[in-house]
Amino acid sequence: MKYIGHGGKEIVERVVSSPSEAKKRIKGLKRVAVTGRIARECINLAYGFFTPLEGFMNKENVESVCEKMSLTDGTLWSIPIVFDIESKEIKEKGIKEGDTILLVYRDKALATLEVEEIFSYDKVKMEQAVLGTADERHPGVRMLNKLKDTFIGGKITLVNIPKFNPPFDRFWYTPIRLREEYKKRGWKRIVAHQTRNVPHSGHEWLMKGAWFSANGELPVERLQTGILVNCIIGPKRIGDYIDEAIVLCHQKLHDARYFRDDIHMVSISLWDMRYAGPKEAIFHAILRENLGCTHHMFGRDHAGVGSFYDPYDAHRIFDQVPEGSLTIKPVRILEWWYCPVCGEVTYSGLCGHSKERQPFSGTMIRSMVQDKVRPTKLIFRPEVFDMVIECADKYGFGSPFCTEEYLAKRQPVFELSEL
């Protein structure tokens, strides 16, 4: 069965079929150790999460993405996917265009990279184009500033299949497996929810509102619209919710039946957030198009950071996307809040009690979680609260938020075996 991804291209897996074939393939190759980001992006490239890309971008594509928000063939694309390396290492190892090199992650073989082009690119130009700023206070700028001085463009082939550790293993689906899953469930429309958070009622209602919007005119006797919660797993900052709490608390909303079993599922994707606001919203839409989603919800300040973007920039950028360049439809959502006059969680596009409203404050909820004070169930579901506390004890060394101890001692999300 063929599955079509972004740009109308087929989802292709670039994964070696067996360890014995992998061993043959990597024999004698020059080895280059890679960072977590590159390892995550290799896995994405190999399984088709980044369709139509089959490898790291060449210079023409990087330029085109920065200047025109598209690949050289005109396919919409908003964030450069680059392989960075020190020129010193290239010289020392004698890496040349035309070579194939072996990428090694935590001392284990991961993927081969066909060296098609070795080039450099102005990082500040990239920051301005993608993030709209070169200000060091922006975490995406700090990340790009850390890139090494030279880039390699070329195709990736995965030679070692990552094994996900619990609790992540049950949430890991490749784009092809996800599509098979939708077929089994009879879903015709799938609306994606991007998250790096433990869900409070504001998030729950964001998903519920988006479900109604995506379901539209479809009949409701037999539901055919599903919500795909897609948790982003990547580098953590001190104070972020721990990854285990994010996935297990979303699953808890399902298990405690705040969402019906037949309209909701939780999954993960590996991605290092750039916090690029509008440009990242476009990227998230592309990623979820490859996951087979038909709709993508965008709330307030999607993928933003600090006050670098207007809270609704990520909504507006979809008006600038040329028609036909995305098959996924954005579902643009304002704020859900608690209103004591309405006596319920309601929507800023509906409730007129703007003086009395009580917006969901992530900061307030975090401090309640920190102090183990159970918030009212209109704000935070008790089952989810219990799960946060359970995760703190089980995975977080006593805290549901990332600490130095967690970062140093946590079990990796995935591991590679010895080839």
| Residues in touch with Zn ion (CB under 5 A) | 339, 341-342, 351, 353
The whole-angstrom separation of Cα 38 and Cα 82 is 8
CB 389 within 8 A of CB 401: no
CB of 337 to Zn ion, least distance (A): 8
**Smallest gap, in angstroms, from Cβ of residue 297 to Zn ion?**
22
Name the residue nearer to Zn ion (CB basis): 133 or 361.
361
| Closest to 190 in 3D by CA, of 222, 224, 217, 221 | 224
- Tell me whether residue 298 or residue 338 sits nearer to Zn ion (CB atom): 338
Q: Judge residue 18's burial from the number of C-beta atoms within 10 Å of its C-beta, 0-12 exposed, 13-18 middle, 19 or more buried.
A: exposed
- H/E run at residue 383: helix 382-394
Amino acid at 415: E
Cβ of residue 380: shortest distance to Zn ion, in angstroms? 20
Q: What is the radius of gyration, based on Cα positions, of the chain?
A: 22
Q: For residues 271 and 40, give the distance between their C-alpha atoms in angstroms, rounded to a whole number.
A: 7
For 393, other C-beta atoms within 10 Å of its C-beta total 11
Residue 147 or 339 having the CB closest to Zn ion: 339
Tokens of residue 133, six digits: 């700023």
Nearest to residue 273, comparing CAs of 241, 237, 298? Answer: 237
DSSP 3-state helix, strand, coil percentages of the chain (rounded to 5)? 35, 20, 45
| Minimum distance of Zn ion from residue 70's CB (angstroms) | 43
In terms of CB distance, is 218 or 341 closer to Zn ion? 341
Residue 348 Cβ vs Zn ion, minimum distance, rounded to whole Å? 10
Q: Which residue's beta carbon is nearest to the bound Zn ion? A: 339
Residue 352 Cβ, how far from Zn ion at the closest point, in Å? 7
Nearer to Zn ion, 358 or 367 (CB): 358
Nearer to Zn ion, 172 or 337 (CB): 337
